[in-house]
Amino acid sequence: AGRGGARQGKMAAGGAADAQARFGHSVKGLLTEKVTSCGTDVIALTKQVLKGSRSAELLGQAARNMVMQEDAILHSEDSLRKMAIITTHLQYQ
């Protein structure tokens, strides 16, 4: 009876080792999936940050362009006023 118990003990130990190996592979698989998922999320986040910084850069450029246009408009307005004065003087002559 002692030998049968020893054999069953070895089989149980072997089954437990197999279960542990399967569990280890399962955990490794899940861990690999999680790492891949986190990597994908980091890439997406990086793209968003870069997109945001590019947007800020474009807004800054647009603001600079508007200031330049405003200066040109003010200069044109001043020139038109001067031309109106000259026109009035020419009409009197």
All structural domains of the chain with their residue ranges: 1-51, 52-92
For 17, phi then psi, to 5°, come to -65, -40
* Pairwise CA distance, residues 85 & 79, whole Å: 10
Nearest to 54 by CA among 46, 44, 65, 43: 46
User: Which residue type, as a one-letter code, is found at position 62?
Assistant: A
Put simply, whether the predicted model's pTM sits higher than 0.75 gets the answer: no
User: Which pLDDT value is given to residue 82?
Assistant: 94
CA atoms within 13 A on the CB side of 1: 0
User: Which residue type, as a one-letter code, is found at position 9?
Assistant: G
The H or E element containing residue 62 is helix 2-92
**Mind listing the pLDDT tens digit for each residue in 14-32?**
667 777 777 777 878 888 8
User: Which pLDDT value is given to residue 14?
Assistant: 62
